[in-house]
């Protein structure tokens, strides 16, 4: 091996104090393999198990934190306590061989699909449509709605991946 790559394979401590076994991370990739309600499936568990071998950390596909920010069908979610067993399995599968599990949290904002959100319209920080053909003007979120999404993201991370 070329010596200039040697640092990639040494341990690394994140500012939070978490120790990674090496500096190789799996980037987040959306695979749309979850169940229709955002539950982790066996296919997802197998996908992450195969890719968590040898890396220091795996960053998961984006995980929905609030039903009013749904962007895609068949992405996994953290917005419902009933999903907790699958999320714990996901974290365990990633951590099985020493990799750390990092979840990518999301709220789709103005890109949310109105047909997938309970209210039937996207919510965003401002009433400005995305620069894509056919997108609707989203409903402007209140300060309380924004704070709720932030709190849900913090809670979701703490519950499943610490």
For the stretch 38-73, pLDDT in tens is: 999 999 999 999 999 999 999 999 999 888 889 888
Where b means 16+ CB within 10 Å and e means fewer, 31-67 reads eebbeeebbbeeebbebbbeebeebbbbbbbbbbbbb
The parts of the chain modelled with pLDDT lower than 70 are 156-162
Distance from chain centroid for Cα 16: 19
Tally Cβ neighbours within 10 Å of residue 28. Answer: 16
Q: Work out the mean pLDDT of the chain and round it to a whole number.
A: 89
Give the closest residue to 24 by CA, choosing from 45, 51, 63: 51
Residue 103 CA to residue 62 CA, distance in Å, equals 7
pLDDT of 151 = 81
* Domain residue extents for the chain: 12-160
Distance from chain centroid for Cα 66: 12
Torsion region of 98: left, alpha or beta (phi above 0 gives left; psi -120 to 50 gives alpha) = left
pLDDT of 145 = 86
**12-160: which CATH topology?**
TIM Barrel (3.20.20)
Tokens of 137: 């003007």
CA angle 42–57–32, rounded 5-degree value: 35
- pTM to 2 decimals? 0.84
Residues in a beta bridge with 13: 19
Give the β-pairing of 57-64 and 25-26.
Answer: parallel
User: 104, 62 in Cβ contact below 8 A?
Assistant: yes
pLDDT of 148 = 84
């Amino acid at each position: 091996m070329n010596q200039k790559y040697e640092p990639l394979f040494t341990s690394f401590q994140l500012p939070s104090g978490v120790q990674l076994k090496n500096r190789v991370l799996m980037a987040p990739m959306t695979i749309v393999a979850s169940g229709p309600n955002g539950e982790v499936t066996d296919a997802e568990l197998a996908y992450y198990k195969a890719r968590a071998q040898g890396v220091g950390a795996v960053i998961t596909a984006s995980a929905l934190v609030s039903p009013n920010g749904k962007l895609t069908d068949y992405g996994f979610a953290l917005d419902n306590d009933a999903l907790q067993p699958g999320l714990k399995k996901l974290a365990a599968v990633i951590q099985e061989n020493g990799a750390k599990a990092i979840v990518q949290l999301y709220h789709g904002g103005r890109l949310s699909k109105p047909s997938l959100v309970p209210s039937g319209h996207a919510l965003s920080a401002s009433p400005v449509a995305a620069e894509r053909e056919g997108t609707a003007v989203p409903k402007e979120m209140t300060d309380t709605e924004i704070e709720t999404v932030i709190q849900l993201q913090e809670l979701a991370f703490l519950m499943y991946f610490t």
